[in-house]
Amino acid sequence: MTESSQVDPIRELLMTYNELNSSTITVLDEPPSALEFMRFVALNRPFVVRDFASDWQATSTWSLSHLKSTLSSRPVNIAVTPRGNADAPTTNDDGGMIFIKPWEEMQPFSEFVDYVAHQERDGRTTDEEVRYAQTRVYYPEPFSFEHQIENDNLRNEYSSLFCDVEKDISFARIALEQEPDAINLWIGNSHSVTSLHKDPYQNIYVQILGRKHFTLLPPLFHSCINEVPLPSATYARSPSNPSKLGIQLDTPPSQVPVATWDPDEPEQRTTEYSHLAQPVRVTLEKGDMLYLPALWYHKVGQSCGDDGVCVAVNYWYDMDFGGSFWPLCNFARNVTLHNDGRQKRSTQGSR
């Protein structure tokens, strides 16, 4: 066997990327120009701007009391889970893995945010539900262009707060020549965790209250995340016991391709390439901004300040599907899936 035939192209791809790109994030002291921003878009690399929103009305006035006085008892859509693990791989009652979505319900805003803050300050009991303002939309692989529906809750459900933030991010609007497809508000506490996933958007993320903790992985590292098709399910309240959230498989049955490897538990559910991943980790403080490039995998947690709530705003700009980036990311994914399938067939055939 020749030396060239022994080269693992996936391993070479990941090692080359690691050699040419830092595992630390670029930090800017001031917002980039449109041209500077476009260079980051072209490289598909994230960056942070510290104190980006220090002069926004939201960062100077928003607090628990301000949010309650503005929204009062207005009903809002919230996501509810038993452990803070919505839109995530989890274990079913029979021990099998599933992809679980949150139970959604309407609740007066003041009741919702008081619940979130009290849970953060007083500590969560084992059987206490975790609640947060729902904004995430899950995009299964392969992405379907006609089904890319955004929540856009800050310009709709929370429109009374919209005047306190920027209507767009000027350098992104100029560089990308478009308005944001969606502007989303997230409210929750430290008990919620967003599992590793990716979105087909250029995301500008601005922290208003508390802190957000991001773990990032480039799109080409699909071979590290152990994508598995899992049965899709939703948390649901039991008719006989509404205080209990159970698991209800979707009808008709469907499967969702999900990243099952967790960079914070790197020894579990690994692939042969997971050890090559070098996650980028960054924490956003109040007023900071993160540019999260399209298709980057990200896991998100948060911590709260004295108010007991974490609040953030993110601007979603549609990615450009032209050029080579989108096809190359799909190619990397398809090669990984083909390789995984071939290995499974080989293992089964040797039994």
Q: Would you kindly state where each structural domain of the chain is located, as residue ranges?
A: 4-321
- Helix (H), strand (E), coil (C) string for 128-191: CCEEEECCCCCCCCCCCHHHCCCCCHHHCCCHHHHHHCCCCCHHHHHHHCCCCCEEEEEEECCC
The CA distance from 346 to 103, in Å, is 40
- Tokens found for residue 52: 């980006």
Residue 73 region by backbone torsions, left for phi larger than 0, else alpha for psi between -120 and 50, else beta: alpha
Class of the CATH domain delimited by 4-321: mainly beta
Tens-digit pLDDT profile for the chain (351 aa)? 455 567 899 999 999 999 999 999 999 999 999 999 999 999 999 999 999 999 999 999 999 999 999 999 999 999 999 999 888 999 998 889 999 999 999 999 999 999 999 999 998 877 899 999 976 555 555 554 434 455 799 999 999 999 999 999 999 999 999 999 999 999 999 999 999 999 999 999 999 999 999 999 999 999 999 999 999 999 999 888 888 899 999 999 999 999 999 999 999 999 999 999 999 999 999 999 999 999 999 999 999 999 999 999 999 999 999 999 999 999 999 999 988 765 555 455 544
CA dihedral angle for residue 340, residue 19, residue 202, residue 272, rounded to 10 degrees: 20
- Which phi and psi angles does 49 have, rounded to 5°? -115, 115
Residues in the chain, how many? 351
The CA distance from 177 to 173, in Å, is 5
